Amino acid sequence: MAKFRAPGRVNIIGEHTDYNDGFVLPFAIDRYVEAEIEIDSQFVFSSQMMDETIVLRKYERLGKWTDYLMGVIHAIDQKGYDVPPVRISVTSTLPTGAGLSSSAALETAVAYGLSKIMNLELEKKELVEIAVKAEREFVGVKCGVMDQFTCVFARRNHAIFLDTSDLSYEYVPLNIENFEFALIDSNTKHELSSSEYNKRRKECEEVLKILKKKSFKEVSYEDLRCLERTLRKRAKHVLDENNRVSVAVKALKSFDISLLGNLLYESHMSLRNLYEVSCEETDFIVDFLKKSGNVAGARMIGGGFGGSVLILTRRGYIEDVFEKLAKDYFKAFEKKPNLIKIKSSDGVNMCGA
């Protein structure tokens, strides 16, 4: 039995732009999904997190976590390879529901593992293609490509400046020296997350349809004048956020922490007021951090309506800031946030290799 692991990811900036063929700036983190894989006489999937084992004799959608595994197997089969029944045991150090892309980590770990044990020698972009196809077509989530791409292509101490329209990319050194990124998990996930995510996608598609454009890269700010108020807000966020990604790359390259931090705060305000995917809990966290004076920048990450907040702060400050935040947060919401210290990581690999 061989074990494979793929990292979670954090997106510095570029939220809700990946499925709009825009720019993103993610890096992988040192929290992982691990999958032990071996050939078996039937499909046996076990999860330490879910505390269950499921046996399947055929391709079957169950509406559960196993769909991610079977989706990968199905996608590899569709490429012309005959995947034999396998036993897959899954463990994870990635918190689910925190917006750290645990599903993409699971998909890419399994895709990479199957490629290795079957000697398929799949290229990195093929692994991304398989993982995305599994989630979109088998699981039924219309995800972008950023998460899976980061899980596969990540390089330690670097972010990836990715153009999701053509998958061209550039590694950008995480040049932050005496500063560090961290996460605060709000421990909140509102029920409307999935439905509103799909609604935002449809709204963006409607913008392009009305403007008769193929991509937001063809859309100008003047074009927004003919849109009704809600669609105009959604489109403005996408245009602004794409610009922020480009500026953030320059800020990293020039070690301009002040500029990078301000971009994070601007991104959060746009996600709150224009794209309207924030929530009371993550807004509370960002507002508190901004007022503290010790945090260079912060914003909600992920699909929205809960999840985590990304923080950029001077090294060694975050524990004191978090202790004060946690007390006020508990008073406001009667729940405790979690501080997640992170470091950058390489992409998917074989454990021990």
Q: Reply yes or no on whether the pLDDT at 353 is more than 80.
A: no
Rounded to whole angstroms, the Cα distance separating 339 from 298 reads 14
67 is catalytic: no
List, edge to edge, every strand of the sheet that includes 158-163.
23-24, 158-163, 168-173
pLDDT at position 132 is: 96
- Kindly report, residue by residue over 233-260, the tens digit of the pLDDT: 999 999 999 999 999 999 999 999 999 9
pLDDT at 192: 59
Tell me the β-bridge partners of 350. 4
> 159 vs 104, 153, 346, CA distance in Å?
17, 10, 10
Q: Give 294-340 pLDDT, tens digit per residue.
A: 899 999 998 888 889 999 999 989 999 999 999 999 999 999 999 99
Give mean pLDDT, residues 211-215: 96
The mean per-residue pLDDT over the stretch 80-98 comes to 88
The pTM for the full model equals 0.93
Pairing of strands 43-47, 86-92: parallel
Q: 182 with 98: CB under 8 angstroms?
A: no
Count of other CB atoms within 10 angstroms of residue 51: 7
* Cα 182–chain centre separation: 15
Output the pLDDT for position 73. Answer: 96
| Of residues 116, 58, 68, the one with CA closest to residue 90 | 68
As a whole number of angstroms, the distance between CA 216 and CA 239 comes to 7
pLDDT, residue 61, reads 87
Q: For residue range 172-208, list pLDDT tens digits in order.
A: 999 888 999 999 999 988 765 677 888 999 999 999 9
Q: Are 307 and 186 in contact (CB under 8 A)?
A: yes
Q: CA 101, CA 32: separation in Å to the nearest integer?
A: 10
**Token pair listed for 174:** 């995480």
Pairing of β 158-163 and β 23-24: antiparallel
CB atoms within 10 A of CB 294: 14
- DSSP letters, 217-279, are GG--TGGGGGS-HHHHHHHHHHHHHHHHHHHHHHHHHTT-HHHHHHHHHHHHHHHHHTS----
Q: What is the mean pLDDT of the chain?
A: 93
Identify the pLDDT of residue 190: 72
Q: Per-residue confidence at 51, pLDDT binned at 50, 70, 90?
A: confident
Out of 147, 223, 328, 346, pick the active-site residue.
147
pLDDT given for residue 58 in this prediction: 76
User: Of 11, 18, 6, which Cα lies nearest the Cα of 181?
Assistant: 11
CA–CA separation, 8 and 101 (whole Å)? 5
Q: How far is 208 from 92, CA to CA, in rounded Å?
A: 39
Task: Residue 285: name the closest of 262, 263, 301 by CA.
Answer: 301
pLDDT tens string 269-279: 999 999 999 99
At 1, the pLDDT band (50, 70, 90 cuts) reads confident
Domains and CATH numbers, the chain: 2-174 (3.30.230.10), 179-341 (3.30.70.890)
Q: What's residue 193's pLDDT? A: 65
Taking residues 274-295, what's their average pLDDT?
95
In which residue are the tokens 């939220």 written?
15
pLDDT at 66: 93
pLDDT higher than threshold 90 for residue 210: yes
Greater confidence, 66 or 293?
66
| Range picked from 89-103, 136-150, 270-284 for highest mean pLDDT | 270-284
Q: What is the pLDDT of residues 95-115, one digit of tens each?
A: 776 667 889 999 999 999 999
The answer to whether the CB of 132 falls within 8 A of the CB of 140 is no
Instruction: State the average pLDDT over residues 157-167.
Output: 96
Q: Per the structure block, which two tokens stand in for 3? A: 């074990």
